[in-house]
Chains A and B, each alone.
Chain A
Amino acid sequence: MAVVAAERSRAASRLPAAIKDAAGTALLALGLAVPILALRIDQNINNEPILRPRWDYVAIAVAVAFLGRLAWLLIRPSRAGAAAAKPQGASGGLAALSAWLSRAFATTGVILLVLYPLLALSLAGWAGAIKWIDNFGIQILIYVMLGWGLNIVVGLAGLLDLGYVAFYAVGAYSTALLVHNFGFGFWLCLPLAGIFAALWGILLGFPVLRLRGDYLAIVTLAFGEIIRLVLINWVPLTNGYAGISGIARPSFFGLPFNASDQGFAAFFGLEFTPLHRTIFLFYVILALALVTNWATLRLRRLPIGRAWEALREDEIACRSLGINTTNTKLTAFAIGAAFGGFAGSFFAARQGFISPESFTFMESAIIVAIVVLGGMGSQIGVAIAAIVMIGGTELLRELDWLKQIFGADFDPTQYRMLVFGLAMVLLMIWRPRGLIATRQPSIFLRERRAVRADLVKEGHG
């Protein structure tokens, strides 16, 4: 009780300073809210713009900022004290438990994913399942795969690549162009797309070998934009904004998914439904994502993967041990890019149509956000982050009931970025190194103990 009383008296003594600080925050909120919220231009029935003042909105925003900041300032110190009182570091038994838990989680996750289409079918029926398998399942798995691919470059090798979507685009466009110009099938395009993307990865790698940190990030960002602008402007090859349509869909060992007599449904004596293809695509991307994961986990235990991590930790020490850092960086770029290319190839075949609109910087930002939120270098963390970020976006479409509260013209998907931003800020306060920040050693003598996040370097590029 004495502690609580002391805590309370300390809170009381902090009050004037906290109010002052919160007032500053409120002022900042006012400055931001006036241009954003204060005035809204609507159109009346004659299409004339009318100005609608919304000072009540501004007042609410300022009040929320003030009270939120005040509450934060008054609550935070006691929480910091509690955190300091907690014993530091996990004991060996706890680490073993967490390792076991993560293995169990991974196994259950894979089993659930394999059963997912059947679950969706039985729960949502043949009509409703397509949304759950396509919009949720396939969409999330594409981003899981992209996240895992980028994890090699950013998480393992510590090279911050903000233009990863370029390799996704290279994969997608090489598939589209090979199908369009040479009539190749998807299964031939898939490996070729990966190879082309890897070549582009090396091509990007060469000029940025000497760059580090912010400079590397800026050049890779520019590289992503160059690829997109070339796709837009090289109209004779890429058809510009109009994009490329009619990309061959994947076949099931030569059986196309159509209503013809040679189709998949007819061959197996099933009634034709487009859902067959969707389920098949789900398993294709699941297999691709699992291959990415398997390859990454395996590479981490090979000299090349250890060299990537050593490069992230200390490049000069690497060179003093005879590691060719040029080759090490280029392989990281190439292998990361190859997985992006595979994902791009799958994306093209799934959509049947691609245009440069799909490969904007926003996509790169989302993939980087997935890797950073998940915890750089952590496979499970990246998968969880992809599920939350992409699944969350899709879930916002499902929140129609909110219209009953906020009115008929309320569209939850419009608030997607706001929710993202908020989630990211909160996560960075709560877990600055991502969801799963500890590092699992690639080899051990007696027991595998996770390495604390604060020891693991983030790389300097």
Chain B
Amino acid sequence: MSADPVLAVEHLTMRFGGLVAIDDVSFSAPRGQITAIIGPNGAGKTTVFNCITGFYKPSSGRLLLSLGSSPAAEELHTLTESGGRSRATAAGSIFLLERMPDYEIAARAKVARTFQNIRLFPGMTVLENLIVAQHNPLMQASGFTVLGLLGADSYRAAEREAVERAKYWLEKTELADRADDPAGDLPYGAQRRLEIARAMCTEPQLLCLDEPAAGLNPRETAGLTELLLSIRRSHALSILLIEHDMSLVMEISDHVVVLDYGQKIADGSPEAVRNDPRVIAAYLGVEDQEVEAVEAEIAR
């Protein structure tokens, strides 16, 4: 466990009826770093994401997110005992994500996410997608619609600011010349980038990316790597990443968590994880010699 985690997952368990999708998983995501969650298909990676972002209610466990810096133990204890969802602490604020509805996790705990199968607003333009992402600050600026309906200047200024932020992310994701095109018209790789830009427009502290490189060609994957590294460099945020592309994972992550059949089997630096015999066994399922035999079979 790192000294200052932005997210601490403690004894997370998720059951669907009799099926245990995640079984007592604990790990933490260090602040300001890139944490990758890897594992074979069906290991429970996306389920962990859905629990963190509130789309599933965990069967048990605690999901502690802290903004600012880590809370003192007694502050955390007070919040847990009080049954509340969040608490302002001396160093920032802390949130118990398992008690919060999904939209509140995004709005207050500043967790943004992307989806494995892209979820854009296809009938809205690229720019509109990025403006919708800034719904909450704009809603406040529009006086919960009343001031905006009357055409107040404060709202217009806020909207200009929102467009500026959208432009910044359009430049960053190389989508600037497609701003007025419908999102559904973009090629696949650009849709992936737009989804990241949209998540970044919510100004998150923790960005959760569910297989951002899925379906990208090697050149697009290289661009994505560059984008993620530059986001981490220039914005104070932590990234949680599910990915199957091992070269991407090994290149950008500071920390890797490996899941298999709903359990954590390894946790550490990329190098340590890569050489962990249990990880190799989980991925390949068999002894090395047998793999070679299968590979030879396929080649023939």
Q: Is the CB of B180 within 8 A of A449?
A: yes
Q: Is the CB of A316 within 8 A of B128?
A: no
A413–chain B nearest beta-carbon distance, Å: 39
Beyond A304-B139, A304-B145, A444-B127, whether A455 also contacts B122 by CB under 8 A is yes
Q: Which residues of B contact A320 (CB under 8 A)?
A: 53, 55, 102, 106, 112-113, 115, 119, 199
Beyond A443-B128, A445-B179, A449-B180, whether A316 also contacts B133 by CB under 8 A is no
From A321, A331, A457, give the contact of B198 (CB < 8 A).
A321
From B55, B104, B148, give the contact of A303 (CB < 8 A).
B148
A452 touches B (CB below 8 Å): yes
Q: Which residues of A contact B149 (CB under 8 A)?
A: 295, 298-299, 302
Q: Is the CB of B184 within 8 A of A325?
A: no
B141–chain A nearest beta-carbon distance, Å: 8
A446 touches B (CB below 8 Å): yes
Q: Which residues of A contact B181 (CB under 8 A)?
A: 449
A309 to B108, CA, bound (A): 23
Q: Is the CB of B123 within 8 A of A456?
A: yes
Beyond A323-B103, A445-B179, A456-B123, whether A306 also contacts B145 by CB under 8 A is no
A170 touches B (CB below 8 Å): no
A86 to B180, CA, bound (A): 24
Q: Mark B102-126, 1 if CB is under 8 A from A, else 0.
A: 1110111000110100011111110
Closest to A305 in B: B145
Closest to B198 in A: A321
Number of residue pairs spanning A and B whose beta carbons lie under 8 angstroms apart: 137
A318 to B127, CA, bound (A): 15
Q: Which residues of A contact B172 (CB under 8 A)?
A: none
Closest to A456 in B: B123
B182 touches A (CB below 8 Å): yes
Closest to B149 in A: A298
B169–chain A nearest beta-carbon distance, Å: 13
B232 touches A (CB below 8 Å): no
A105–chain B nearest beta-carbon distance, Å: 23
Q: Is the CB of B135 within 8 A of A442?
A: no
Closest to B125 in A: A441
Q: Which residues of B contact A56 (CB under 8 A)?
A: none
A439 touches B (CB below 8 Å): yes
Q: A319-B106, A323-B103 are in contact. List 14 more A-B contacts (CB 8 A).
A: A298-B151, A302-B145, A309-B123, A313-B123, A317-B121, A320-B112, A320-B119, A320-B199, A322-B103, A323-B132, A443-B159, A448-B180, A457-B122, A457-B123
26 pairs of residues in contact across A and B, judged by CB atoms under 8 Å:
A299-B149, A302-B145, A303-B139, A310-B124, A310-B132, A316-B115, A318-B132, A319-B55, A319-B102, A320-B102, A320-B112, A320-B113, A320-B115, A322-B135, A322-B136, A441-B127, A442-B128, A443-B125, A444-B127, A445-B127, A445-B179, A448-B180, A451-B123, A455-B122, A455-B185, A456-B122
Query: Interface on B for A, CB 8 Å cutoff?
Result: 53, 55, 102-104, 106-108, 112-113, 115, 119-125, 127-128, 131-133, 135-136, 138-139, 142, 145, 148-149, 151, 155, 159, 163, 167, 179-182, 184-185, 198-199, 202
Query: Interface on A for B, CB 8 Å cutoff?
Result: 295, 298-299, 302-304, 306-307, 309-310, 312-314, 316-325, 331, 439, 441-449, 451-452, 455-457
